Amino acid sequence: MKEKQTPVLSVRGLKKHFKTGIGRNKLLIKAVDDVSFDIYKGEVFSLVGESGCGKTTTGRTIIKLYEPTDGEVFFLDKRIGAGYQSLKEEIKEVKKNARQGIKENPENAEKIKEERDKKIEELKNEIAQRKEDTAREDKVLMKKMQMIFQDPIASLNPRMVVKEIIAEGLRIAGEKDPDIINTRVNEMLETVGLLPEHASRYPHEFSGGQRQRIGVARALAPSPEFIIADEPVSALDVSIQAQVINLLNDLRDEFGITILFVAHDLSVVKYFSDRIGVMYYGKLVELAPKEELFKNPLHPYTRSLLSAVPLPDPNYEKTRKRIAYDPSVHNYTEEKPSLHEIKEGHFIYANQEELEKYKKELK
C-alpha cells in the first residue's frame, strides 16, 4: 500500500436514512447504516454491491448532495459533513437515566440533576459545533472534491456547449478571466483525449464514450484531489468502457488523484481499484485489498457476489456454480455484529462467534 499514513477522506459511522410516507404508510429506509472507512492518498477505493445496497447514497452523502443523518465525514482533516441523530438520542438517554436515578435515591436528586445538566450541555455544544461546521460550505475545500456521474447523457446539460459545461465549476469558484478559463478548458479537453474544436459543440454531437470524457473533464477542471466516480462505465459499451477506465487510470498515475469508485461490475473493479468495500443493505460487510478479497472472500455475501461474475470463457462458464446468499445464516439475536479487522487491512462485519469461524477459515 502506498502512502498509507494520510487518509484523504475518513468516514465515521455514516448513516443516511430516508423517511417516506405519512400515517401508517410511514417508512424509514436505512439506505446507509453505520459505514466507516478511510481512503488514503493516491489510491482507488471501490464500493461494490447489488443495486439498492446504498453505495451511490454513500458517495452522494460524502459530497454533500445529501445531508447525513448521523456520523461524520472528514476531508483533508476537516469535518465537512456531520449528522447528530445519535447525539440527540444520547440526550434522551441521559434524561431518562437521570429520571430513573432520582426515583431510586431521591436524596441525591440535586447531584444527579447537576450531572445531567452538565452532560446535556456538553452534548448540545457538540451538536451546535457540528451544525456550525457543516452549515457554511467551505467552497475552497469542496472544490477539491468532484463527482463523475453514471449516465453520460442525463448528466450533461443539453443546452450548454462543452466549454460552458467544463467551465461552470471554475465560474462558480469565482474565476472570471476568459483567457484563463479558455486555456483551462483546452487543457482539460486535451487531458481526456478530446480536441480543442470540440469545445464549441453540444453534448448530443458526441458518442457515449466521448460524453463520459466530457463528464470527466468537468470533474477535473477545478483541479480536485478526490473524485467520486459513481458507476462511470455501467452505461457504456465494452469497447468504450475500456477507454474510460484507461483514462481514469492515467489520471490517477499522472495527477495522483484519489478515487472513490462505485460500481457493480466486479471484473472492472478488480482491474481498477486498490481496495474494495463490499456493501449489503446499507452495511459495509467486508473491506480488503483487492488481491486479498478475491483470494480469501470470507463473508458469505462476498462469496455469492464473486461467484456471480461471468467470465469470457465458455468452459469455465459451463461449470460455474452460483452460490446464493441467504441473510438468515447469521444469528445476530445474541450479539450484535460490528466491523472487525481479521487480518491486516482485511475487515469483516461479524460478531465474535462468526469472527472465530472466519479466522479458522482464513488459515
Partner 1 sequence: MAKDKKLVVEDLTVSFRTNQGLVRAVRGISFELEEGETLAIVGESGSGKSVSSKAIMGILEGNAIIDKGKIIYEDEDLTTISEENYHKIRGNKIGMIFQDPLSSLNPIMKIGKQITEALIINGNHLKNRYKELIHQVKMDYENSKIKKQNLIKDFKSNKSRLKEEGKQEEVQQFKEQFQKDILEINQKIKDTKEAFKKEQISAKKKVADDWKQEKERVAKEIQAIKEKMASADRETRKTLKEEVATLKENLRRYKKVTKKQAKERAIKVMEEVGIPQPERRLKQYPFQFSGGMRQRIVIAIALTLNPDVLICDEPTTALDVTIQAQILELINKIKTERSLSVIFITHDLGVVANMADRVAVMYAGKIVEIGKAEEIFYNPKHPYTWALLSSMPDLDSKERLAFIPGTPPNMLFPPKGDAFADRSKYAMKIDFEKEPPFFKVSDTHYAATWLLHKDAPKVEMPEIIKKRIASMAKAPKEVNE
Identity of the residue, 321 or 336, whose beta carbon is nearer to partner 1 in the bound complex: 321
Interface with partner 1 in residues 279-318 (CB under 8 A): 294, 304-318
Identity of the residue, 45 or 272, whose beta carbon is nearer to partner 1 in the bound complex: 272
**Residue 104: its H or E element:** helix 85-104
Tell me the closest approach of the beta carbon of residue 69 to partner 1, in angstroms. Answer: 24
The label of the residue with cell 432520582 reads: 102
Identity of the residue, 160 or 309, whose beta carbon is nearer to partner 1 in the bound complex: 309
Residue pair 123/94 in contact by the 8 Å Cβ criterion = yes
- 205 lies in the binding site for partner 1 (CB under 8 A): no
Identity of the residue, 116 or 252, whose beta carbon is nearer to partner 1 in the bound complex: 252
Report helix, strand or coil for 1: coil
Instruction: Give the span between the Cα atoms of 324 and 304, in whole angstroms.
Output: 6
Residue pair 70/13 in contact by the 8 Å Cβ criterion = yes
- 238 lies in the binding site for partner 1 (CB under 8 A): yes
Residue pair 133/82 in contact by the 8 Å Cβ criterion = yes
Residue 89 makes CB contacts below 8 A (sequence gap 6+) with none
| Interface size with partner 1, residues (CB under 8 A) | 45
Contact stretch for partner 1 (CB under 8 A) within 69-77, 102-110, 221-229, 265-273: 265-273
Identity of the residue, 48 or 123, whose beta carbon is nearer to partner 1 in the bound complex: 48
Report helix, strand or coil for 258: strand
DSSP track, 22-62: SGGG-EEEEEEEEEEEEEETT-EEEEE-STTSSHHHHHHHH
- 87 lies in the binding site for partner 1 (CB under 8 A): no
Interface with partner 1 in residues 45-84 (CB under 8 A): 50-52
Contact stretch for partner 1 (CB under 8 A) within 86-94, 102-110, 217-225, 261-269: 261-269
Q: Of these, 30, 264, 330, 340, which contacts partner 1 (CB under 8 A)?
A: 264
Identity of the residue, 24 or 103, whose beta carbon is nearer to partner 1 in the bound complex: 24
Q: CA angle, corner 125, sides to 120 and 131, nearest 5? A: 125
Residue pair 110/22 in contact by the 8 Å Cβ criterion = no
Residues that bind partner 1 in the complex, under the rule CB under 8 A: 50-52, 207-208, 237-243, 245-246, 249, 264-268, 270-272, 294, 304-323, 325
